[in-house]
Amino acid sequence: MSEETNMIHAEQEHPEETPVQETETLTEEMPAEEPLPEPAEETKTPETSQEPVKTRGYHPVLNALLCAFLGIGGGYTGGRIAVRSAQPETPAEEIQEQEPVQQTTVQNVVYTDSGELTISEIAAKSAESVVEITVVVQQTSYFYGSYTAEGAGSGVIISEDGYIVTNHHVIKNAQSITVRTTDGKEYPAELIGTDEKSDIAVIHIDANNLKPAEIGDSSLIKVGDTAVVIGNPLGTLGGTVTNGIISALDRQLTINNQALNLIQTNAAINNGNSGGGLFNGQGQLIGIVNAKDSGTTSSGAIIEGLGFAIPINEAMDIANQLIESGYVTDRATLGVSLQTLDYDYRGRKAGLYITDVIDGSGADNAGLQPYDRILKADGTEITQYSDLSYLLQKKQIGDTIELTIDRDGQEITCTVTLTAPFNGN
């Protein structure tokens, strides 16, 4: 059963005067940070809002808090931080330079013959593999000017020689990253690679003989199985253990305009748990925690016990590609940058627009152009980025997708051959 919900931070709101939503890029090669371009005779479209796209949900009104790290400064982490304070005019720390490290591919190793452990046994087995992460970014504020912002999250050790998996949103735009292990030691970390679409990132610390988590198989878990979360809630409570069950599988959710397929659990999750581990009854890592729902419905009902994690099979696949190449190499892309209009604006109808086409991409070869509005993909109506993203997730490089577009009031149908990302950019 597929459900879709919007995971939005309660402190972030869309400015009323800006109808244009956040730009999303269907390639890894062309970021779409700029607003939708206007023809020469038209007034320039207002700048793109940096808020997550509002999407359909299974609650009438659903405010969702990403289990992001505790942050200082408004707007940090793209609407994912729940608790903030400011430190104006504090110089940012620098990432310590390190010697190049040998790249390591971490394989999924599954142990299925061990029996169910107690919660205390799971904690004893796995807690040492979960670390605290602190990041520093440079922020600019109307009131404070330029200042540093600090945030915290969690991560899971996946190799003895210092590779750690966490969330993209935990380390997004970080100028420095510091890792603290359970023995109290702190290490400067190097960013190996990060992937916004899957919300997975890999960092590395110069350390040996670390205790990696035992990697499980997320395809084997069942609803009702034991679930244990270990992480750094509130950015100050590293090593916190909470438990519950696997509440649901294959939850298709839209978070910050990215379509994700997640594990649902009722184990307590708070801000700062992002990037931490979800473990099964054998103490095996089966997911990377990344989000929770929080708030009330339109009727006033309180939302509780809804936490989510990225299945470890997907997370490790992405992590290995990041370690080997620095980016995801096997994702099928159109080769365009996209931008959504919430409602009709200056003669343009609401919908999903192409803002840029990558030279040599499948979209370029199919004749797609900026200002084309995508109406359908493989016969499915498209009104926002996540509609298209769900379809593309099922595609492989070399597959085709049939697009129906509106160009200056005329409907055009074309077939696009999907390609690999261009240099991971």
Distance CA 217, CA 338 (A): 35
Give the H/E segment covering residue 15. none
Distance CA 281, CA 123 (A): 10
Burial state string for 235-274 with b = 16 or more CB within 10 A and e = fewer than 16: beebbbbbbbebbebebbbbbbbbbbbbbbbbbbbbbbbb
Distance CA 174, CA 137 (A): 5
Contact 287, 140 (CB under 8 A): no
199, 293, 372, 387: which is the annotated catalytic residue?
A: 199
Distance CA 193, CA 327 (A): 6
Contact 425, 30 (CB under 8 A): yes
Name the 3-class secondary structure at 131: strand
Residue 154 a catalytic site member = no
9, 14, 59, 169: which is the annotated catalytic residue?
A: 169
Q: Supply 193's token pair.
A: 């690679």
Distance CA 404, CA 373 (A): 9
Residues 6+ apart with CB under 8 A from 224: 245, 246
Distance CA 129, CA 279 (A): 11
Contact 21, 51 (CB under 8 A): yes
Q: Supply 363's token pair.
A: 């979209």
Neighbours of 400 (CB within 10 A): 13
159, 274, 294, 361: which is the annotated catalytic residue?
A: 274
- Bridge partners of 243, per DSSP, are 228
Residue showing tokens 């200082």: 72
Residue 169 a catalytic site member = yes
DSSP designation for 226: E
Residue 9 a catalytic site member = no
The residues that are catalytic are 169, 199, 274
